[in-house]
Structure 1
Amino acid sequence: MENYTSDSSDSDNTIKTLDFSYLSLDSNVVDEHLNAVKNPDNVETILLHQNRLIYTPASVTRFTNLNVLDVSNCGLVELPDLLGDCPLTSLIAKNNSLCNESLPKSFDSFPTLRELNLSGNRLNDFPEQVLELTGLRYLYLGGNTITRITQDIWKLQRLQILSMGGNRLTEVPSTLGQLITLQALILCDNMLESLPRSIANLKNLKSLLLHKNRLKTLPTEIITLSCLTELSLRDNPLVVRFVSDMTLDPPSLLELAARVIKINDIQYDETDLPRNLNEYLNSGHCCVNPKCKGVFFNNRIEHIKFVDFCGKYRVPLLQYLCSSKCIDLRSNEDKIDRNGIMMQKVLLG
């Protein structure tokens, strides 16, 4: 990344990034530097974090191709409407003194914005005008004092990351389950006691951080989230209940018969059985216990096995077994972890 100083030269023609970060400059000095840039149309990124900016310099609007603006840790008390004159895709204004009244009354003039970071400010309500950013991919509102997530959160249909940890949330609206492109949901360090069942609709969710809440239960449907690789639950009172609530449905006669065929290695081909039975037999999964030759199809035991993870956390691995008797995996935990065979990691702390 190129650094730009107040010295002007012919190199201005190629500068795409202006970096004035960590210089403790005030608004007037930054304004002078920005006005001194000879070719503002070339600039795509301006980094102003860790300065002493009471306000955002109006000279920012000179940069007609500005995509990224970082004004974090500057003591800002306002984000002006004039920022909408720049084609911003990323606006990072974390760790300032912004309240709800400090934000633009409308985000209509920010049609290209894809990332908005307002973490670590003084917001006490979810900023409703953010819902106008229908192309938003990443929204960071952690470290504020927000008490509720708007019911209209579903309007952000392209959202991939929603970070609202470190607020004062007591509930999550069921409409959040309509954000089907969501990949990471950060709700840690709040006051949540439960989650809506609609969370199970987030089929692309990879990371769900819920530590430091008051959760007493989780919707059992959460197990159906096949993409989920990180579920953080530490500092919640729910873990024992979560494990005990995982019930087993007995296998069907079809599954029992299919198991006999696979376990005994009975040969079959497309001419022996109807097509649907062939497909069913070919869909079998081997038990993760290497001491067992068991096979399961639709039915399985969902077992939580506690192991040590890097010496820092207690991590239960969600293991899919063919039988409730098949739980002695202590000598093979490392092998299972390396192969990544049908498991979920639940961070308990």
Structure 2
Amino acid sequence: MIKYRIKMGGDKVKVHLSRKRLDKFPEDHLTEIQEDLVMLDVSRNSIQIIPSTIINYQRLIELDISNNRVYRVPDEIVHLKNLRTLVCKNNRLNCASLPKDFGRCPALETVNFSGNLFIDFPMQFCEIKSITCLHIGGNRIRVLPNQIRELERLEHLYFGGNQLSSIPAELGDLQSLVSLVLCDNRIETLPPELTKLKRLKSLSLHNNQLRTLPPEIISFGELCELSLRGNPLVVRFVRDLTWQPPSLLEMSARVVKNRNITYTEEDLPRNLISYLNSAHRCLNPNCNGVYFESHIEHVKFVDFCGKYRLPLMQYLCSPNCTSPYASSSSSSSETESEDDMPVSKNTLKMVLLG
């Protein structure tokens, strides 16, 4: 006879069956209360199969099947219209383990599939518009899909402990995001679009392969915690300058842009018009020049919290522009020292470097 802890409030029933050495789902013991069951915890057992009879738990709001041996989520789970929290961490699940129409779950808000066997990101997750908290860390996922932008209500994304080498710019479209965990991956660069996350308060990037940060990171409006320990940028800064001289095409295009020579679509072929429109402004404040494909990657050090100096990557039009006093074209702007850099009004409160 299985003994379990049960909490009742009115017609709502919560059952805790964690650590009961169960080797199968205890459906026989829940038959009498299944219509009133709102929370079920069967974590830390040896369960392998969640039966199709889970469809009978129509009032279920929270289901915790973590730390078992589950290798498949039954199709019937999409019919639990009240299910808001599904915790399936530390099992044997992969993309083939999920229902094809898992995205039809109508009420899911918190989803936890950390510590499983996912190699690819489950695309069904991108179809669940109600998700506010998604945990899928501790897997072997290499690519975060562009479709992640569809999760407009997402507030917390935990993606630590995977195998990401980059993250999509579309992550910056998650305007509701408050916490973003990307630690323990292989990330080498960050897209500047991340600064579109105006509500982001915590960004965890420790134990990656970051050597620099994009200059745009200082424009984070609400960010107050930034974790960077265990990245090359903390222990070794990039100092070598590499530069490929511009082509004749680029040199000509620079003259057109720098001297403000007017042109129309009738004057030039469409491909040249497109090329001229792709010009980037040199970030040296004393240079009014532009570049197209040939640029110099330069590291500029910026103070954070009055204590830490972080390297930010900036792109310049020529090696001469690495000097704060240099100018590749005339400029009347005042000289800016190498330490000057505009910072956001809400300075970071915590930068974790070690």
User: Contact between 2:23 and 2:48, CA under 8 Å: does it hold in 1?
Assistant: yes
The aligned counterpart of 2:180 is 185
Cα pair distance change 1:12/1:174, threshold 3 Å: closer
User: Contact between 1:113 and 1:136, CA under 8 Å: does it hold in 2?
Assistant: yes
The aligned counterpart of 1:346 is 351
Q: In structure 1, the residue corresponding to 2:78 is in which secondary structure? A: helix
Cα pair distance change 1:341/1:78, threshold 3 Å: closer
Cα pair distance change 1:150/1:342, threshold 3 Å: closer
Cα pair distance change 1:81/1:346, threshold 3 Å: same
| Partner residue of 2:23 out of 26, 33, 39 | 26
Distance (whole Å) between structure 2 residues aligned to residue 346 and residue 126 of structure 1: 30
Q: Which amino acid counterpart does residue 34 of structure 1 have in structure 2? A: L
Deviations 1:177-199 (A, max 9, x none): 11111111110000010010101
TM-score (norm 2): 0.67
Distance (whole Å) between structure 2 residues aligned to residue 343 and residue 141 of structure 1: 27
Q: In structure 2, the residue corresponding to 1:44 is in which secondary structure? A: strand
Q: Which amino acid counterpart does residue 31 of structure 1 have in structure 2? A: E
Cα pair distance change 1:190/1:8, threshold 3 Å: closer
1:115 aligns with 2:114: no
Distance (whole Å) between structure 1 residues aligned to residue 156 and residue 6 of structure 2: 39
Q: Which amino acid counterpart does residue 304 of structure 2 have in structure 1? A: I
User: Contact between 1:27 and 1:57, CA under 8 Å: does it hold in 2?
Assistant: no
Following TM superposition, by how much is the alpha carbon of 1:7 offset from its aligned partner in structure 2, in angstroms? 9.5
Distance (whole Å) between structure 2 residues aligned to residue 202 and residue 6 of structure 1: 44
| Structure 1 gaps, min length 5 | 251-300, 308-315, 327-339
1:217 aligns with 2:212: yes
The alignment yields a C-alpha RMSD, in angstroms, of: 3.2
User: Contact between 1:317 and 1:345, CA under 8 Å: does it hold in 2?
Assistant: no
- Name the stretch that deviates more: 109-118 or 55-64: 55-64
User: Contact between 1:171 and 1:193, CA under 8 Å: does it hold in 2?
Assistant: yes
Deviations 1:118-164 (A, max 9, x none): 00000000101111101111111100000000011111111111111
Following TM superposition, by how much is the alpha carbon of 1:241 offset from its aligned partner in structure 2, in angstroms? 4.7
The aligned counterpart of 1:153 is 148
For CA contacts below 8 A with separation 6 or more, give which structure has more relative contact order.
Answer: 2
| Structure 2 gaps, min length 5 | 239-282, 287-300, 311-335, 340-344
User: Contact between 2:119 and 2:140, CA under 8 Å: does it hold in 1?
Assistant: yes
User: Contact between 2:63 and 2:86, CA under 8 Å: does it hold in 1?
Assistant: yes
Distance (whole Å) between structure 2 residues aligned to residue 198 and residue 226 of structure 1: 13
The aligned counterpart of 1:55 is 49
User: Contact between 1:177 and 1:199, CA under 8 Å: does it hold in 2?
Assistant: yes
Cα pair distance change 1:135/1:14, threshold 3 Å: closer
Q: Which amino acid counterpart does residue 303 of structure 1 have in structure 2? A: D
Cα pair distance change 1:146/1:342, threshold 3 Å: closer
| Partner residue of 1:129 out of 119, 124, 127 | 124
